[in-house]
Amino acid sequence: MSLKLYYEPTSPPSRAVQILIDLLQIPHEKIRISFKNKDHKSPEYLAINPLGEVPCILEADGFALWESEAIMKYLVNSRKQGGDSLYPGDPKARAMVDKYYPFHHSVFRSKVSKYAH
């Protein structure tokens, strides 16, 4: 497989990236990073993602990328799948998509995590 996805199934950003990968039908290998087992602190994983967070992708050429927003934009742009429907080229249409990234982090996740404990 040319793409590896490092993920934790309980992580909403991991799930968002996985959904996009599935939607785009990108062949990939999933590698679970267990926070409970401290996989995110292993020297092998920190060599790929120095922040030790999920999700993270690793391309066959060694290109590593973390942060779900960056990953999703990269996958749509690099695979040229989904055309403009997933990430429009028009600046105004793209801005309408982009406005939901900070909303997700600042509003939705804060409300959900409030009730998750």
Q: Is 2 a catalytic residue?
A: no
> At CA 112, angle to CA 111 and CA 117, rounded to 5?
110
Mean pLDDT of 91-109: 73
Mean pLDDT of 18-40: 94
Higher pLDDT, 52 or 107: 52
Catalytic residue among 11, 68, 78, 106: 11
Does pLDDT of 109 surpass 80? no
Exposed (0-12), middle (13-18) or buried (19+): which is 30, by Cβ within 10 Å? Answer: middle
What is the percent of the chain with per-residue pLDDT over 70, rounded to a whole number?
Answer: 80
Domains of the chain: 3-82 (3.40.30.10)
Does pLDDT of 29 surpass 70? yes
Are residues 14 and 7 in contact, defined by beta-carbon separation less than 8 angstroms?
yes
